[in-house]
Structure 1
């Protein structure tokens, strides 16, 4: 099974604000399994085909990164994604990032980058999922785990400069 992470550049004002606040060039991420895209998108997590105009590249621009997973790992990640379809998007995370208040993040819902990270944690790629993670941090962790060949230029620098919301420790998302 082919598994890819799709990182999207901002396509509108909302996307530009998200990328600015995350201190990243990415405003959204999805995970793709053999032509089906799973995305944590307001208001709910969805599954869509590659030809869906909301997630297609083009019309959107971005980067697609193939992930090295065993068949068993890919099956577990896919099972997690399928189990999450219809789950509400974590709108509180948007507020947490905007106001830099970590405690606002929901322990039972995810936003796009957390969703992808949690799917890979469910597969066993990471020991646990991360809350309030960015696309750059996701790529750096995948590279460190030996699951991708390389990271796009500037990723390490951006990841090292990104500041997550502060205050009380955020709850972990259990995959």
Structure 2
């Protein structure tokens, strides 16, 4: 359900918190941090709500993304918990080993790398949309995506088909 113009804050929170929570969990890899991240984003959005026009969701999501990176910079370490609490797509649920490998690899990426991959492949944003959400140039978003995918290939070669490794095409033939 998309939020719409004129939607009051309380309705927005009720309608969009589950989706925002899933994204926050993928960004942080920790249920408690994800909850804090959503609460922080909603608090900031509530303060700005009277000034928002149109769909408020992109604004709230941008707060999620940038706040997560800000927290990561202040902590200067990555969480060690796997990303096991989100509702995985059917293809991932059918192969637990693949899901575990993906979760472990994502947990070992930097926060920025994980964020750009979540935006590009979970949120299905374009490079331009990803860059706008993070407040960076599209070229930087493209570069971060490329670096993150390369690191995934190194960390988890068994995921080569998911991250577009040329060797995977050879194996598939």
Question: What TM-score, normalized by structure 2, do the two folds share?
Answer: 0.30
Q: Of the two, which has the highest radius of gyration? A: 2
Q: Greater share of helix residues, 1 or 2?
A: 2
Q: Greater share of strand residues, 1 or 2?
A: 1
